[in-house]
Amino acid sequence: MIKKITTLPGDGIGPEIVESGKAVLQVIADLYGHQFEFQEGLIGGAAIDATGVPLPDETIERCQSSDACLLGAVGGPKWDQQPPHLRPEKGLLAIRQALNLYANLRPVQALDALIEESTLKPEVVSGVDVLIVRELTGGIYFGEPRERRTIDGEEGVVDTLVYKKSEIERLLHRAFQFAEIRGKHVTSVDKANVLESSRMWRECANEVATHYPSVTLEHMLVDNAAMQLIRQPKQFDVLVTENLFGDILSDEASMITGSLGMLPSASLNGTAFGLYEPVHGSAPDIAGLNQANPLATIASTAMLLRYSFGLLEEADCIEQAINQVLLKGYRTADLTNANAISTEEMTKAVIKEIKVAI
């Protein structure tokens, strides 16, 4: 199989962890007889420094001409004083919009090797396997108007929450399709007791559900969902929700299974193309120190192979290698206080497991 992958290293630890992901993808290509052609693009602070904008057109074109993208992270204190349209994070929002990446997937799985690392009790965490499907290109993040204005003679502010029905439906279809090949249960999260958008969301979920008779649908209010995720996370299979709720719930869920340094994500449009990145940020405090945990990025490459290339065996191989290195006790600094290994050492350990497995 010949595929083109654009890497977007970005800022902070981004270049180090993307290097790890690339190395793993290269090993998979060599071992399974695929050809992955890599090209690189600028995004975030690195792009601002080089071109003056957080997402140059050239980066968008490179992504559009490739089969998948692997992104590191963007942002850092260096660019915090920039005006809003020139912040690194704007690059991320812009690329999601430009590539119409409306479905954000965040799997949260309890790895046996890290059960003790969780903030929750082992019996609550063990066996957790949730797929959070978050709407990514609509909602209050993008609605207009959004402005400061005078309201009843005093200073005020307006943000607007907008969804088209088609935007809600296409996301719900993706969620039900994932549920069909997983645990056959969808929890649709909203605030239908308060928001009109949530009432439409609920209607759409009920309608879409009729197309997937093998999947059960449950509605849950977002405040309750926040509580249930901590109380009994095993009740969830696919959790689907709108942009802002999904942002908050997925950060919360990330703590169920231990470290931020472990969690991958995918952002998909209606095609096979996807943008894959770790859930964590650019970790400027440890940038360039060869200390970052590369496993979230490596796990993101497994999602890339699975969802964009359909290489299920290769994806499983990477995930099993991650599990193995953790079972063997390898830990980067974010996961241990003693005997931490470096980014490069962790990457080599994963590659060694992949080679042993094949």
**Among 337, 291, 301, 335, which residue's Cα sits nearest to residue 321?**
301
Is 293 within any annotated ligand binding site? yes
Is 106 within any annotated ligand binding site? yes
Give strand pairing partners of 177.
none
Q: Least distance (Å) from ligand ATP to the CB of residue 3?
A: 25
Cis check: omega of the bond before 145, within 30 degrees of 0: yes
Report DSSP state, residue 111. Answer: -
Residue of 3, 22, 90, 191 marked catalytic: 191
Q: Least distance (Å) from ligand ATP to the CB of residue 343?
A: 8
CB atoms within 10 A of CB 208: 23
Residue of 159, 164, 223, 355 marked catalytic: 223
Give strand pairing partners of 3.
36
Is 35 within any annotated ligand binding site? no
Q: Least distance (Å) from ligand ATP to the CB of residue 80?
A: 11
Instruction: Give whole-number Cα distances, 85 to 12, 54, 60, in Å.
Output: 20, 8, 17
Residue of 3, 67, 141, 334 marked catalytic: 141
How many binding residues for ligand ATP (CB under 6 A)? 13
Report DSSP state, residue 336. Answer: -
Q: Is 96 or 174 the residue whose CB approaches ligand ATP more closely?
A: 96
SS3 13: coil
Helix axes 57-64, 88-98, angle to 10 degrees: 40
Instruction: Write the interaction track for ligand ATP spanning residues 264-303; mark x where CB under 6 A is met and - where it is not.
Output: ----------------xxxx-xx-----xx--x-------
Known active-site residue 191: yes
Q: Is 56 or 264 the residue whose CB approaches ligand ATP more closely?
A: 264
Instruction: Give whole-number Cα distances, 284 to 197, 265, 322, in Å.
Output: 37, 20, 24
In this chain, which of 41, 45, 75, 274 binds ligand ATP, going by CB under 6 A? 75
Is 306 within any annotated ligand binding site? no
Asked if residue 80 binds ligand ATP (CB under 6 A), the reply is: no
Give strand pairing partners of 218.
187
Residue recorded with tokens 């609920």? 202
Q: Under the rule (CB under 6 A), what is the footprint of ligand ATP?
A: 75, 260-261, 280-283, 285-286, 292-293, 296, 334
**Which residues carry a binding-site annotation for Mg(2+)?**
223, 247, 251
**Which residues carry a binding-site annotation for substrate?**
96, 106, 134, 223
